[in-house]
Structure 1
Amino acid sequence: MAKVLIVAEHMDGKLNGSTAKCVTAAQALSPETIDVVVLAGDPAAVAAEAAQIAGVSRVLTVANDANANPIAQVLAPQVAKLADGYSHVFGPSSTFGKDLMPCVAALLGVPQVSDLMSVEGEYTFKRPIYAGNAIVTVEAPTGQTVVATVRTASWKEAGKGGSATVEAASVDADLPGHTRYVGLAAGSSDRPDLQSAKRVVSGGRGVGSAENFDVIYKFADKLGAAVGASRAAVDAGYCPNEMQVGQTGKIIAPELYVAIGISGAIQHLTGIKDAGTIVAINKDPDAAIFEIADIGLVGDLFQVLPDLEAAL
């Protein structure tokens, strides 16, 4: 019977929705138990949130000042020690998980299953390859701990209503001294987080300039949406790298995705293929984005957006 340990992703004392998606993936194994571990300087608030996720058996807390910032080389030895007795260790396929989980797998001496999108058996999973153009079935070695990152775009968040017990865990792990937290450089925004937003508005090369990107921001604010961008827009300097959506950016699955001035390169489509409803606005009627869009509007974005804003 499977026993799953999930590493919680959190920031500023708040649990990220990716953790609840990992719980849903773990439930597909029909496991005996699903435990969540929260590593932080003060894990109490995050642990209380994690305990409310339906399906979680226990929440383990590891309070250590060294865990105040998510440094993979510091967290990984602790997770590897905690993994003893578990058949599976899951983390989200976010920047956090992609940084941490390979370190955990290396310390445990096992191969990692990346971007887990479907559970076929206790050791058998499906994951996308070739920019999502093909799905491969992979089989992890039996008798070894399965370390995996969960493709958050492929799973729904587990519901609330749980009442898991919260337990403090002590971990005897040697933490590295050569890796330390220096600082965090990140853009601040009042808009929803791009990775977890229910609505996303993205702009592409067709927006034309960084100044013109204001029309994207204004339209997103009308919808209460997060703002994304294509790689072409990022490379052109219209917006920062953290807004990039696609194979080499963020892979997202919002309920509504509005692509404005985006042609629809396969690398971009990889990042939005699991979105609920895709709306495309482009003046080129032959743009590839229209092939996958649920709703397509051919027109000049600088004429269309003001009309849509007025209607909203």
Structure 2
Amino acid sequence: MTILVIAEHDNTVVKVATLNTVAAALKLGGDVHVLVAGHNAQDAADAAARIAGVTKVLLADAPQLAAGLAENVEATVLQVAKDYIHILAPATAAGKNLAPRIAAKLDVAQVSDITAVVSPDTFERPIYAGNAIATVRSADPVKVLTVRTTAFDAVAAEGGAATIEKIGAPADRGLSQFVSREVTKLDRPELTGAPVIVSGGRGLGSAENYARVLEPLADRLGAALGASRAAVDAGYVPNDYQVGQTGKIVAPQLYVAVGISGAIQHLAGMKDSKVIVAINKDEEAPIFSVADYGLVADLFNAVPDLVNALG
């Protein structure tokens, strides 16, 4: 049995989500191959070859793959799909865009957001915003899966010695065009991979308060900054800060929720965090139902006091 993992990368570095997806693939019990589809992506292929547990890397290198447009990557996957029983992608924005296209072209049902591998044809996935777990068995000849990365510990990025095989890339499908990309560069860790996250909600009241109150705490903890959907909708922070069912799914070692009531949509994105600390003046706030430590207090007093206590 051979499994294909579609790598998420920037043509130079393989992203951590790929390591989590390889971990899920290894639980299926077969040889794991990784597809790197990009342009001038030899560095990414070399990095993929060093991932523990990977036996082969397929490198498709062509200008039409440079931006990772889903239509062109999908065509590349389809030309090798016949060799695989399982095709996996991380359940990130890129993976969620790509995997359904592959499943549709293969005429199979995708199994989305898996959190556990029961057997090669049976998987667990959350439903009802994570309040229930469904066990899904697929009878399709090819299983197309997206992997909730927070459910699988990342394999080691070093230690493997996979071979690299270059494959051709189909011509540009011409169905979409890359126009531009605006990249936000932060000195903080990336939200989905950070060991500590400080998140703010509507209780902060404004974008100015969000920055004034939360940034010093995040600086002391070396944390990434996140937010509830209410804070994003109110314009306190950009969309890429959003944690929740329609935002980013995270599971850090420490999650500090400040002024977040704990709507079910938000809880679905962070309740697997190892330790959850909640600060809210409403003692009935749902966030306290999942918090390991809760402080009922005015955040405008409690957070500065906490920063001072941290030295």
Q: Quote how far apart the aligned CAs of 1:74 are.
A: 1.2
CA distance in 2, matches of 1:57, 1:189: 34
CA deviation profile, 1:15-50 (whole Å, cap 9, x unmatched): 11111101111111111x001111111122112222
**Alignment match, 2:62:** 64
Match of 1:81 among 79, 82, 86: 79
Q: Which amino acid aligns with 2:162?
A: T
Which segment drifts farther, 86-95 or 220-229? 220-229
Instruction: Answer yes or no: is the 8 Å Cα contact 1:77–1:107 preserved in 2.
Output: no
User: 2:252 aligned with 1:259, yes or no?
Assistant: no
Letter aligned with residue 180 of structure 1: Q
Residue 302 of structure 1, CA deviation: 1.3
* CA offsets 1:247-299 (integer angstroms, 9 cap, x no match): 11111111111100001111110001211111111111121111110111111
- What is the aligned partner in structure 1 of residue 15 from structure 2? 16
Query: Residue 162 of structure 1: which of 151, 156, 159 is its match?
Result: 159
Q: SS at 1:247's partner residue?
A: coil
The residue aligned with 1:190 is 187
Q: Give secondary structure in 1 for the equivalent of 2:126.
A: strand
> Which aligned pairs between 1:111-190 and structure 2 lie closer than 5 A?
111-142=109-140, 144-171=141-168, 173-190=170-187
Shift, 1:174, TM fit: 4.2
Trace 1:260-275 onto structure 2 (pairs within 5 A). 260-275=258-273
Contact 1:195 1:251 in 2 (8 A): yes
Alignment counterpart, residue 299 of structure 2, candidates 291, 301, 304: 301
Using the TM superposition, give the Cα deviation of residue 12 of structure 1 relative to its aligned residue in structure 2, in angstroms: 5.8
Distance 1:247 1:150 in 2: 15
In 2 relative to 1, CA 161–240 (structure 1 residues): closer, same or farther, beyond 3 Å? closer
Superimposed CA distance per residue, residues 164-215 of structure 1 (whole angstroms, 9 cap, x where no aligned partner):
3332322353431131111113433221111111111100011110110112
- Please report the TM-score for the alignment, with normalisation by the length of structure 1: 0.95
Gaps of 5+ in 1: none
State the SS of the aligned residue for 1:14: coil
Instruction: Give the 3-state SS of the residue equivalent to 1:218 in structure 2.
Output: helix
Quote the sequence identity (%): 48
**What is the match of residue 234 of structure 1?**
232
Q: Which residue of 2 aligns with 1:29?
A: 28
Cα distance change, pair 228–167 in 1 and its aligned pair in 2 (3 A): same
Query: Structure 2, unaligned stretches of length 5 or more?
Result: none
- Equivalent residue, structure 1, for 2:198: 201
Q: CA RMSD in A?
A: 1.4
Alpha-carbon distance change, 167 to 51 in structure 1, aligned in 2, over 3 angstroms:
closer
**1:83-126 deviations in Å (ceiling 9; x for gaps):** 22111000000001001111111122211110011111111111
Cα displacement string for residues 204-261 of structure 1 (whole angstroms, at most 9, x for unaligned residues):
0111101101121221122111111001111111111111110111111111111000
Are 2:247 and 1:283 aligned?
Answer: no
Superposed structure 1 runs of 4+ greater than 3 Å apart: none
Q: How many equivalent pairs are there?
A: 309
